[in-house]
Amino acid sequence: MCGIAGAFQQADGKVVVSAMIERLGHRGPDAGGLLELVDPETSVVLAHRRLSIIDLSAAADQPLSKRGLTLTYNGELYNYRELRRELAQSGVTFLTSSDTEVVLEAWRAWGHDALRRFRGMFAFAVHDEATGSLTLARDPLGIKPMFTMRRGDGVVFASELKAIVTALGAELRADPAGMVASTLFYWLPPEFEALRGVEKLPAGTWREYRRDGTVTSRQYWDPVAEAAAAVAGPERDLAATIEESVEVHLVSDVPVATFLSGGLDSSIITALAHRRDPSIEAYTIAFRAQDQRLEAMPDDAHYARKMAAHLGIRLHEIEIQPQVADILPRMVDILDEPIGDPAAINTLLMCDAARESGVKVLLSGMGADELFGGYRRHLACLLAERYQRVPALLRTGIAPAARRLPVAMGGRGIRSVRWAQRFLSFAELAEEEAYRRSYTLYAPDELGDLLDPALAPVVARVLDGHRRVYEDNDLADRTARMCLADTRLFLPGLNLAYTDRASMAASTEVRVPFVDVDVFAAAFALPDTGRIRGRVQKAALKDVARSWIPEEIVDRPKASFGVPLRAWVTNDLREQIDDVLLTGELGTSGFLRAGTVERLVAEHRTGRRDHSKQIWQLLTLEHWYAHVRALGVGTV
């Protein structure tokens, strides 16, 4: 896991890349390098920051040049040993034991076809001296990031947006479409830009830049086509697929640990990793009792302790008592984009603790909910379909009555009321709209009431973008359609994005065995009842998990990887909400309607409505905007 940056056909390339790679030091504290390639026709500068995981020797430092190819690479190739053997049999001589050299020689041998042979997470740039071209590539499911900015006839790229902002902030402007998308989703779907002109290389894509300024881009792995092929194909051995994925994700020359929340997914990963490495340790999060009461959230640490005791492994508990008012601005800088999910704080604090203990690599259960139908919204949308069959006369008045109920009383949250209000906000909508509303922050009219009326066309574009992605498939099963949309939007746009940024801020690597092309294929090869059976979610995953983990863990109620957000918004952040959000630049400039923001805050503070997610996201957006403006970025 590393940080990469580079410039192609840029007169000031060395200056720009030097600034970018210095800003990425946290991604690779073990080594670094910058290489300006000598080419009379092409200006190429590549740089690298290294977190040493495989082949810890200096011989594996980057950028790596060998026989006309130069590579700067971020990621891990879990099948590099198999590919190395195949390449060696064809006559390739290796100078290191790294996966980096395998990527370079595979590219030489197979070109773009190598990408479908790679099993792992990666984003890299490779320069070919013979053609003068520079090719960028990203892994199939978007685990590793790659930000690109077209500049003149060339391009600059980096692992994180902040690197480009540091070097070229004065050339950039905030993108109103990205800010609107963040306000709706609380994260940015892959197609949207936080800063105009700086895009994310799409997952499963390679892009080649040539000397004459032309560019070719191809998608080598298409989730829609892959899901359709899996649905049409035979059912796969799910247990064997997951076991094998966890095994290959343990490939490392340094110790590996796990995240263990006590939920199904992290318990599966920890149990299977423990089979291969009995010395493995785990990290979990615990919260203050008063915060749990106000949030009405389960005590995940209780189940994590039970699972650790069952396996006989050491569990590191990190109790979150953060000075959240101080950590929020730090998280804004770490996350790069306006991402309003506070779960990133959990990841950061666990990775900080792991790194302090000497651990560089952790395994996460992320991705199982998206692939196997584990989010509450998946079941809620199916229940909404049934709710719509109830006679309209009987449904009349239910939603207004639910809205009048308080969401908290006597310092204790009322979870059932929050869930009922949320469910009734989308229960009578059509499929795509219901699904969007089930996990976004506003209905279209509410979003319009919050934003400058001049942004109405942008709102329409954002809504249409979700519609296009959701409906772009021929899958017959509604749950499969939801899971495919999650895999294309929610997983790369939010969960993988914050996991990469938060973990790398602590100079650690997080691996995600469920986010794997073989697991993806096995998930979409399941029968229609494999994801949700009656009201049992992740049914097929639970079936196979019973041979790995205790029944108590398999059948425990769903708990999200969350934080006591309501407690933080109600108590810890009260002063900051007043001083930053209610008087911030987005409100005074008119991007946000100040009166609507004031109403959201007032309703939340009465306990009649739960607007904690909305308020956290708006506060995050205000901090993000002030942060990039201070770095020279232009206004919306």
Environment class of 614 (CB within 10 Å of its CB; exposed 0-12, middle 13-18, buried 19+): buried
Side chain identity, residue 239: A
Strand order in the sheet with 64-66: 64-66, 69-77, 120-128, 134-138, 205-209, 215-219
At residue 31, the pLDDT reads 96
At residue 40, the pLDDT reads 80
At residue 206, the pLDDT reads 98
Is residue 407 pLDDT above 70, yes or no?
A: no
* Residue pLDDT, tens place only, 281-315: 999 987 666 555 555 555 678 899 999 999 999 99
At residue 396, the pLDDT reads 79
Give the CA count within 13 Å in the CB-facing half-sphere of 336: 32
CB burial string 397-406: b at 16+ within 10 A, e below: eeeeebeeee
Determine how β-strand 134-138 pairs with β-strand 147-151. Answer: unpaired
| 0.85 exceeded by pTM | yes
Mean pLDDT along residues 219-227: 98
What DSSP character marks residue 632? T
At residue 289, the pLDDT reads 61
Strand order in the sheet with 154-158: 31-37, 44-50, 2-8, 154-158, 147-151, 198-200
CA–CA distance, 448 with 400 (Å, rounded to integer): 21
Neighbouring C-beta atoms of residue 358, cutoff 10 Å = 9
At residue 409, the pLDDT reads 63
Is there a contact between 111 and 90 (Cβ–Cβ < 8 Å)? Answer: no
Is residue 226 pLDDT above 80, yes or no?
A: yes
* Residue pLDDT, tens place only, 355-368: 998 999 999 999 99
Is residue 467 pLDDT above 90, yes or no?
A: yes
Is there a contact between 159 and 147 (Cβ–Cβ < 8 Å)? Answer: yes
CA–CA distance, 133 with 127 (Å, rounded to integer): 6
Q: Which residues pair with 128 in a beta bridge?
A: 69
Side chain identity, residue 97: S
At residue 558, the pLDDT reads 74
Is residue 563 pLDDT above 70, yes or no?
A: yes
Mean pLDDT along residues 600-614: 89
Alpha helix stretches (DSSP H) within 249-323? 264-276, 289-295, 300-311
CB burial string 115-132: b at 16+ within 10 A, e below: beebbbbbbbbbbbbeeb
Pick from 516, 512, 487: which is nearest to 238 by CA?
Answer: 516
Is there a contact between 615 and 569 (Cβ–Cβ < 8 Å)? Answer: yes
CA–CA distance, 23 with 49 (Å, rounded to integer): 10
More confident residue, 606 or 461: 461
Environment class of 415 (CB within 10 Å of its CB; exposed 0-12, middle 13-18, buried 19+): middle
CA–CA distance, 616 with 339 (Å, rounded to integer): 10
Is residue 430 pLDDT above 90, yes or no?
A: yes
Least confident span in 2-11, 312-321, 351-360, 427-436: 312-321
Least confident span in 264-273, 338-347, 512-521: 338-347
More confident residue, 286 or 242: 242
323 band by pLDDT with thresholds 50, 70 and 90: confident
Least confident span in 420-429, 500-509, 541-550: 420-429
At residue 387, the pLDDT reads 87
What DSSP character marks residue 366? T
**What are the residue ranges spanned by the domains of the chain?**
2-221
* Residue pLDDT, tens place only, 129-181: 999 999 999 999 999 999 999 999 999 999 999 999 999 999 999 999 999 99
Least confident span in 385-399, 546-560, 596-610: 385-399
Determine how β-strand 509-511 pairs with β-strand 361-363. Answer: parallel
At residue 325, the pLDDT reads 85
Tokens of 482: 């939801």
411 band by pLDDT with thresholds 50, 70 and 90: low
* Residue pLDDT, tens place only, 30-82: 999 999 997 788 899 999 999 999 999 999 999 999 999 999 999 999 999 99
Q: What's domain 2-221's superfamily in CATH?
A: Aminohydrolase, N-terminal nucleophile (Ntn) domain (3.60.20.10)
At residue 566, the pLDDT reads 85
Q: What is the 3-state secondary structure (H, E, C) of 35-92?
A: EEECCCCCCEEEEEEECCCCCCCHHHCCCEEECCEEEEEEEEECCHHHHHHHHHHCCC
CA–CA distance, 147 with 488 (Å, rounded to integer): 17
C-alpha 175 chain-centroid distance = 20
Mean pLDDT along residues 314-321: 84
First to last CA, the chain: 34
At residue 610, the pLDDT reads 86
At residue 79, the pLDDT reads 97
Helices 431-439, 478-488: inter-axial angle, 10-degree rounding = 50
Mean pLDDT along residues 90-119: 97
At residue 438, the pLDDT reads 95
Is residue 319 pLDDT above 70, yes or no?
A: yes
Average pLDDT for the chain? 93
Mean pLDDT along residues 496-505: 97
At residue 416, the pLDDT reads 73
At residue 418, the pLDDT reads 75
